[in-house]
Each structure stands twice: as C-alpha cells, then as structure tokens.
C-alpha cells in the first residue's frame, strides 16, 4: 500500500481475504447445485458449463475451441471435460473447511464471485485484470455469478490490461529483468514519474519500461511543474474527458497535455493533468527547485582551467560525478547548466564543494 500511495493511487475501499468468505462461497455453491448449474461428485463440486448458454461470450471462444486448445483436467468424475471445480477435497495436511460435501477448499474462481457479490451486489460497473486471466478465470467468474444471480449483470465493463515489458523483453526472473515498484522507488525514481510512464501507454497495449522513458518523463514533469508553478487550475478541457471516455485512453490525454504545455496554457494544463493524478501539490516534493549554481560554477571554472592546461581530467571527473547523480550537463563557452533528470539524487553531491 505504501508503494501504491507513492504512485498517487487511492487506497481500496475493501481488501477482502478469501478465507473470511468461506461461508459465502459454500452458500453460492449450494445455490448453483439447487439451480441445476453444478453437481457434486466424489467430494468435488463442479460447475456444469453446458448449463450456461453464454459460456465463452467474454473471451469470444466457442466451447469446442476451448476443449481443443485448453489444458483441462479430464477426471472420471466430470460429466464434461470443460466443467470446472467449485469445491475440492483437502487432505489432512492441506488447508480445508467443513462443507456439505466433506472437508475441502474452494476452487480458483468461486472466491472472486462470492466476495464481489457480498461487497458489491449482483451487478457492478468495472472488473479489471490481466488479459491472461480472461480465460479461464474471468470466463468462469461470469458463468458462476450469472447463474447464481440471474437477476444481475455481474461486471458491466471489463478492462483487460496487457503485460509489462522491460527494454523490449518480457519481464521475468529467468531473464534477470524482474523488478517491483518498490525497486524503482529505491532507485530514486519519483512516484509521479513512474505513474507518468505507465499512463503514457494505453492499458490494452504492452507497456515497455525503459530507463530512457523514465528520464524523459522526469524531464517533462519538471518542465510542466515549472510552467504551472503558482497557476490556478482552470476548467478541464472537454477533449480530455472525451478521450478518457474512449476506452480510458490515458495515452491520448498525455498527448493533450503536451499540446497545452507547448501552448503555454498553464491553467488548462494543471486542470487536465489533475484528471490523471499528475502535477498535484502532494506529489511534487521530488521536483522542488534545487540551487545547483555552485556546482555549475565549479565545473565551469575547471573547464576554463583545462582550456589553458589541456588537462581535462578534473572536468571529466566532475562531469561523470554530476551525471551519476542524475544531472544532465550542458557546457558552452559562456557557462555550465546542470539539469536534474532521471533519478536525480542530491545526496550524491555531498562533499563535492
């Protein structure tokens, strides 16, 4: 939760634990049996896929295609290969709860349906999740929920996100490119920068995290914060709302923010950014102005001296040190400019002066 708060995310209203809802799961399973949508067999309870005519509608698959392509457990107690487990028996060394079908534990899908019904009712607006969960998990959620509560819609809108990539490759521990939000925060990336990078790609497309993107995001946010400093937010532009209404197109809104910044419209930029949770006062500590003039003067003096002695070792040392601290170094005949970029860490400049 601390990591999510650092990204500016709101706390959830509920954080249910499946083990607190075993009774509700048993009630839902019993109801499905009574309605003819489930059956008990050898200590198991299975959902009868053939009893739900709309099975496959969410994922767009036919049952025949699913049987041909899915890895399903063909067990002798199943009436149909596609039937899935609602309750399974537990050995003595495994977690288990008493039920009308013996000691056991719930299947993978029923817990989500039981908890959402208890907390949200038979119909709610948005269900999210990775696109790898669309089948079978979400498809099975729909089936058991709609059959248990035919008066409801279950989820009216589904948002299936694509996967995260790192430098163009799938994130995985085997490739050594696996990291968490906490890892990025510990590396010095501000939560607002991480948020910006993620919102820059539509949720339905693969997102490629790169250090270059993060550095560019930090540079952009510093520029926008400078532009909107002291500005009062105006009305949110209508095209921002229209763009978000088009399948939550956050990447499209980022494009609008760039346009407003280029036009110098600080009031609209601040208002539009607030819709994405950007440029808020409570997330801006990382971008607070830092006086780097003494460091710039130090490098400029070293450069002037090197021009006479032809020994640039000290210039190279300082330049490397500043870059390692997360500063972009711009040198000209008239002076030196130091610009904080990705992962700027003032502590790395301790002892330089």
Share of the chain above pLDDT 90, in %: 76
Helix and strand tally (H, E) in the chain? Answer: 13, 11
Domain CATH code at residue 139: 3.40.50.620
In the listed set 286, 303, 318, which residue is the last one of a domain according to the structure? 286
| The pLDDT of residue 319 | 94
| Pairing, β 169-170 against β 164-166 | antiparallel
Q: For residue 28, is it within any domain?
A: yes
CB-CB contact of 113 with 144 (8 Å): yes
**Residue 24 shares a structural domain with residue 152:** yes
Rounded to an integer, the average pLDDT of 204-233 is: 92
Q: Is residue 82 scored above 70 in pLDDT?
A: yes
| The pLDDT of residue 103 | 97
| The pLDDT of residue 112 | 97
In the listed set 161, 192, 214, which residue is the last one of a domain according to the structure? 161
**Residue 250 shares a structural domain with residue 317:** no
**Residue 105 shares a structural domain with residue 182:** no
**Residue 229 shares a structural domain with residue 328:** no
CB-CB contact of 98 with 13 (8 Å): no
Q: For residue 13, is it within any domain?
A: no
Q: Is residue 301 scored above 60 in pLDDT?
A: yes
Q: For residue 93, is it within any domain?
A: yes
* pTM summary value: 0.82
Q: Is residue 254 scored above 70 in pLDDT?
A: yes
| Pairing, β 207-209 against β 164-166 | parallel
**Residue 138 shares a structural domain with residue 245:** no
Q: For residue 7, is it within any domain?
A: no
**Residue 93 shares a structural domain with residue 125:** yes
Edge-to-edge strand list for the sheet holding 207-209: 169-170, 164-166, 207-209
Sorted by sequence, the CB contacts under 8 Å of residue 224 that are 6+ apart come out as 257, 261, 269, 273, 278, 279
Q: Is residue 58 scored above 90 in pLDDT?
A: yes
Q: For residue 9, is it within any domain?
A: no
| The pLDDT of residue 34 | 98
pLDDT 10s digits, 164-193: 998 888 888 888 888 999 999 998 889 999
**Residue 212 shares a structural domain with residue 247:** yes
pLDDT, mean over the chain: 92
Q: For residue 24, is it within any domain?
A: yes
| The pLDDT of residue 290 | 82
In the listed set 124, 139, 161, which residue is the last one of a domain according to the structure? 161
CB-CB contact of 228 with 287 (8 Å): no
What gap in Å lies between CA 168 and CA 143, rounded to an integer? 36
Q: For residue 198, is it within any domain?
A: yes
What gap in Å lies between CA 247 and CA 268, rounded to an integer? 22
Q: Is residue 66 scored above 90 in pLDDT?
A: no
Tell me the pLDDT band of 328, cut-offs 50, 70 and 90. confident
Q: For residue 5, is it within any domain?
A: no
**Residue 237 shares a structural domain with residue 156:** no
More confident residue, 104 or 215: 104
**Residue 153 shares a structural domain with residue 186:** no
Share of the chain above pLDDT 70, in %: 97
Instruction: Give the number of domains in the chain.
Output: 3
More confident residue, 345 or 205: 205
Query: Which H or E run includes 105?
Result: strand 104-106
**Residue 281 shares a structural domain with residue 300:** no
**Residue 178 shares a structural domain with residue 153:** no
| The pLDDT of residue 253 | 98
**Residue 93 shares a structural domain with residue 196:** no
Range of the domain at 156: 18-161
pLDDT 10s digits, 96-127: 999 999 999 999 999 999 999 999 999 999 99
């Amino acid at each position: 939760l601390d990591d999510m708060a650092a990204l500016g995310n709101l706390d959830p209203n509920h954080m249910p634990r499946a083990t607190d809802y075993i009774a509700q799961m048993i009630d839902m399973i019993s109801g499905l049996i009574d309605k003819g949508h489930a059956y008990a067999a050898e200590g198991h309870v299975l959902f009868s896929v053939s009893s739900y005519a709309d099975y496959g509608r969410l994922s767009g698959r036919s049952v025949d295609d699913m049987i041909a392509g899915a890895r399903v457990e063909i067990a002798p107690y199943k009436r149909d290969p596609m039937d899935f487990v609602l309750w399974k028996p537990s050995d003595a060394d495994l977690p288990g709860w008493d039920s009308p079908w013996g000691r056991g534990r719930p299947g993978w899908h029923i817990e989500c349906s039981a908890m959402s019904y208890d907390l949200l009712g038979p119909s709610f607006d948005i269900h999210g999740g990775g696109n790898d969960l669309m089948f079978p998990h979400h498809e099975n959620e729909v089936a058991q929920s709609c059959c248990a509560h035919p008066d409801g819609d279950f989820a009216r809108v589904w948002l299936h996100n694509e996967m995260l990539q790192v430098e163009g490759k799938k994130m995985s521990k085997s490739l050594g490119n696996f990291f968490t939000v906490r890892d990025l925060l510990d590396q010095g990336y501000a939560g607002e920068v991480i948020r910006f990078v993620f919102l820059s790609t539509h949720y339905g497309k693969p997102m490629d995290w790169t250090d270059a993107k993060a550095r560019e995001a930090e540079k952009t946010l510093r520029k926008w914060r400078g532009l909107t400093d002291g500005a009062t937010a105006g009305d949110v532009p209508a095209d921002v709302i229209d763009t978000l209404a088009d399948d939550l197109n956050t990447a499209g809104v980022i494009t609008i923010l760039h346009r407003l910044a280029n036009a110098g419209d600080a009031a609209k930029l601040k208002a539009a950014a607030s819709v994405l949770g950007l440029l808020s006062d409570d997330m801006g500590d990382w971008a607070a102005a830092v006086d780097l003039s003494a460091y710039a003067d130090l490098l400029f003096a070293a450069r002037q001296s090197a021009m006479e002695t032809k020994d640039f070792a000290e210039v190279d040392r300082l330049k490397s040190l500043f870059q390692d601290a997360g500063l972009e170094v711009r040198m000209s005949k008239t002076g030196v400019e130091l610009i904080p970029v990705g992962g700027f860490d003032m502590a790395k400049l301790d002892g330089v002066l």
